[in-house]
């Protein structure tokens, strides 16, 4: 008979081996037909991304990229509520407080994964059905195709927790039309359904109930090219009639967004909003007043610089910013107020935009020497 300790070891070993195939695994990786399929499988946590998921997805994408029998990669979420609601912020907060390496490793490996998706040689199709925020945006927006549905809810809400719209936000946000990206980044405004397509974040819109059929058709394609995949997505997109007539939610405000959010500093944006005085402007002021002043200044500069940078350089810059947030006060306070105590009243330090000095912001962007992100 095995001694109790040995028996435990055998059981643990068995559990380890079955982890990847069993349905309780946090991420399922499978090959079906010519498609590599990544399924985020933490429905109770709205498929929030943690380090172990990142560490499984990254090498798999790299393997499929080299495999001549894999023609496309599909990523989706389980549970029907979310594609991926973000990164595992609670774990990062705990790590940051105790100086645990996770606070460095998580962002480093997450951004490496974002870059792998952005440079992936195989067509990459993200089915962004349900909540898609923060880290979930990073898993989708840099790929070739992003399919939104009527259930998609997109946002980059980081300024509300003392962070900034990372995962390559500095790259894709300033490239949206007009000042939409800047507006979404500073206010955390939520886009729903077809508006995610109209804003330029999704490439296609397909009804949620049609996704299983679409996936089946994608898997059935025989050695497809990017064009074949685009044709299939276009045909599904053309047949989707939900909300087709509705105008873009920000349409009536675009002129104001473009003029008010084109200012060079946060103080100037606030001044312009006050001067404008319209109900729309007042609402934006109320939102901005709740955000971390440090995050707002950091974000405005991140987007201004990112507008002319490559994705690689943006992610390197964002890694520096992530580590500045880990050293600071507001991220921990924001997570406390929004996610832990849920009192929704963070006490930011500094508490006013005027108190966040240019020197302080410049420091956040400084290279980290040997600790810089290398892509």
- Cβ neighbours, 10 Å, residue 352: 10
Handedness of CA 47, 51, 53, 58 (dihedral sign): positive
Place of tokens 């949620």: 208
Nearest to 125 by CA among 218, 28, 6, 216: 218
Give DSSP secondary structure letters for 185-249: HHH-PPEETHHHHHTTS-SEE--GGGHHHHHHHHHH-SS--HHHHHHHHHHHHHH--TTSSPPPT
* Residues contacting residue 295 through CB under 8 Å, at least 6 positions apart: 158, 159, 162, 163, 164, 330, 334
Nearest to 173 by CA among 312, 356, 305: 305
Q: What angle do CA 46, 49, 52 make, to 5 degrees?
A: 130
Rounded Cα–Cα distance for residues 35 and 119 (Å): 18
Peptide bond into 350 cis (omega under 30): yes
The answer to whether the beta carbons of residues 41 and 25 sit under 8 Å apart is: yes
- Report the catalytic residues: 87, 135, 158, 166
Phi-psi map region of 362: left, alpha, beta (phi>0 left; psi -120 to 50 alpha) = alpha
72-77 and 124-128: which strand pairing? parallel
């Amino acid at each position: 008979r095995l001694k109790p300790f040995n028996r435990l070891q055998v059981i643990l070993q068995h559990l380890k081996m079955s982890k990847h195939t069993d349905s309780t695994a946090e991420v399922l990786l499978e090959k079906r037909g010519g498609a590599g399929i990544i399924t985020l499988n933490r429905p109770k946590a709205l498929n929030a991304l943690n380090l172990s998921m990142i560490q499984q997805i990254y090498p798999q994408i790299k393997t499929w990229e080299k495999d001549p029998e894999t023609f496309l990669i599909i990523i989706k979420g389980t549970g029907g509520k979310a594609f991926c609601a973000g990164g595992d912020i609670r774990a990062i907060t705990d790590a940051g407080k105790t100086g645990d390496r996770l606070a460095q490793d998580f962002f480093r490996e997450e951004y490496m994964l974002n870059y792998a998706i952005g440079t992936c040689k195989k067509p990459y199709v993200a089915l962004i059905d349900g909540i898609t925020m923060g880290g979930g945006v990073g898993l989708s927006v840099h790929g070739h195709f992003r399919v939104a549905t009527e259930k998609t809810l997109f946002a980059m809400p980081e300024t509300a927790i003392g962070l900034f719209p990372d995962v390559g936000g500095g790259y894709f946000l300033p490239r949206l039309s007009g000042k939409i990206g800047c507006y979404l980044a500073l206010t955390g405004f939520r886009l729903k359904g077809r508006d995610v397509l109209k804003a330029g974040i999704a490439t296609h819109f397909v009804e949620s109930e049609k996704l299983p059929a679409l996936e089946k058709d994608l898997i059935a394609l025989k050695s497809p090219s990017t064009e074949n995949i685009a044709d299939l997505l276009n045909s599904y997109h053309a047949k989707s009639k939900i909300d087709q007539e509705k105008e873009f939610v920000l349409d009536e405000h675009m002129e104001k967004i473009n003029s008010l959010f084109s200012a060079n500093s946060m103080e100037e944006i606030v001044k312009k909003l006050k001067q404008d005085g319209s109900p729309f402007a007042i609402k934006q002021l109320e939102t901005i007043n709740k955000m971390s002043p440090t995050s707002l200044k950091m974000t405005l500069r991140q987007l201004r610089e990112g507008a002319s940078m490559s994705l690689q350089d943006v992610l390197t810059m964002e890694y520096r910013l992530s580590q500045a947030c880990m050293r600071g006060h507001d991220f921990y306070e924001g997570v406390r107020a929004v996610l832990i105590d849920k009192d929704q009243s963070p006490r930011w330090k500094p508490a006013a935009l005027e108190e966040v000095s240019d020197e302080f912001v410049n420091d956040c962007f400084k290279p980290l020497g040997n600790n810089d992100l290398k892509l």
